[in-house]
């Protein structure tokens, strides 16, 4: 079953009031959103602006949506009362165990706002197309179902069985622009909360995107000034209680996948 067939199946089964492509700015989400946009039920692309990411990726998302004539809904964490600088000044940088906390603050609340603004009836469903791919997610997340339902949300991983090469071939065949951020630092950079940051990552970001690195270093200085003794790339000096939650699998699967390589296990 190809991506459009899978999407049609989900639409037929759950009859969503809207179909959104979750477009982070990474190449997997670009591919998935482009596939979804071929369906007549496609509503818009959605980008969640965490407030702590590389601006060039946000610009790429906006420019791509304009070029492809995709309506774009951009939701800012700050509009939901979640300011990254304020969060880490209060709590310190998250480390791997604080990933769920950051996800909930920076992404999930914005997603909830999207759902609230889309639904008109209590029973309404909203379909969210993701770029989750089994080959990239299985090590950290286990088996990923192509269609999953969580309350009003219907998650649909329409490139679930694609390889990275499949995505690159699709991008080339359809003459889609590539995000230079991904090609330079091998991640979209749309969220730099630091949960899975590794030693040397900030220097790499600084090499290509000095303004972003300078912002993180300024926040790091403020965080240490109030008494938190660890930096953006470091784990807290105490153990946070880990609360496994499948919500992490949807919008942060790339970071979770990278954690396995960086931390070699649970972190």
* Alpha-carbon torsion (167, 169, 173, 178), positive or negative: positive
User: What is the token pair recorded at 184?
Assistant: 């330079």
pLDDT in tens, 39-91: 999 999 999 999 999 999 999 999 999 999 999 999 999 999 999 999 999 99
Q: What pTM, to 2 d.p., does this model score?
A: 0.89
pLDDT in tens, 113-145: 999 999 999 999 999 999 999 876 554 445 678
Distance CA 75, CA 229 (A): 32
Neighbour count for residue 151 (Cβ, 10 Å)? 9
Q: Is the pLDDT of residue 163 over 90?
A: yes
Q: By the 8 A CB rule, do 10 and 147 touch?
A: yes
- Which is more confidently placed, 2 or 85? 85
Distance CA 233, CA 213 (A): 12
Distance CA 18, CA 168 (A): 28
Q: Is the pLDDT of residue 266 over 60?
A: no
Question: In what order do the strands lie in the sheet containing 44-49?
Answer: 72-76, 44-49, 18-22, 126-130, 153-157, 147-150
The predicted model gives 91-114 an average pLDDT of 95
Output the pLDDT for position 145.
86
The predicted model gives 158-171 an average pLDDT of 95
- Which is more confidently placed, 102 or 258? 102
pLDDT in tens, 194-249: 999 999 999 999 999 999 999 999 999 999 999 999 999 999 987 655 554 544 44
Output the pLDDT for position 238.
75
Helix/strand/coil (H/E/C) assignment for every residue in 84-99: HHHHHHHHCCCCHHHH
| CATH label of the domain that carries residue 197 | 3.40.50.620
- The domain in which residue 232 lies consists of 3-263
Output the pLDDT for position 249.
46
Res. 264 pLDDT band, cuts 50 70 90: very low
Q: CB-based contacts of 49: which residues, under 8 Å, 6+ apart?
A: 58, 74, 75, 76, 77, 78, 110, 190
Number of domains in the chain: 1
The predicted model gives 27-50 an average pLDDT of 98
């Amino acid at each position: 079953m190809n991506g459009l067939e899978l999407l049609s199946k989900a639409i037929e089964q759950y009859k969503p009031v809207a179909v959104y492509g979750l477009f982070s700015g990474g190449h997997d989400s670009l591919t998935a959103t482009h596939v979804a946009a071929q369906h007549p039920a496609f509503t818009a692309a959605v980008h969640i602006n965490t407030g702590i990411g590389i601006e060039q990726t946000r610009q790429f998302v906006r420019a791509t949506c304009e070029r492809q004539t995709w309506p774009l809904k951009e939701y800012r964490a700050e509009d939901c009362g979640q300011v990254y600088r304020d969060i880490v000044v209060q709590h310190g940088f998250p480390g791997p165990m604080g990933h769920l906390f950051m996800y909930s603050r920076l992404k999930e609340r914005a997603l909830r706002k999207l759902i609230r603004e889309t639904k008109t009836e209590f029973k309404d469903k909203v379909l969210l197309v993701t770029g989750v791919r089994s080959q990239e997610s299985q090590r950290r997340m286990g088996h990923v179902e192509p269609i999953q339902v969580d309350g009003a949300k219907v998650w649909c991983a329409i490139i679930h069985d694609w390889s990275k090469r499949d995505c690159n071939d699709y991008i080339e065949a359809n003459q889609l622009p590539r995000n230079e951020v991904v090609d330079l630092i091998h991640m979209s950079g749309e969220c730099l909360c630091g949960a899975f940051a590794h030693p040397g990552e900030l220097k790499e970001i600084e090499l290509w995107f000095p303004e972003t690195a300078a912002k993180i270093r300024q926040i790091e200085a403020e965080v240490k000034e109030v008494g938190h003794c660890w930096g953006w790339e470091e784990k807290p000096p105490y153990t946070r209680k880990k609360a496994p939650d499948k919500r992490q699998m949807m919008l942060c699967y790339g970071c979770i996948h990278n954690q396995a390589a960086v931390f070699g296990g649970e972190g």
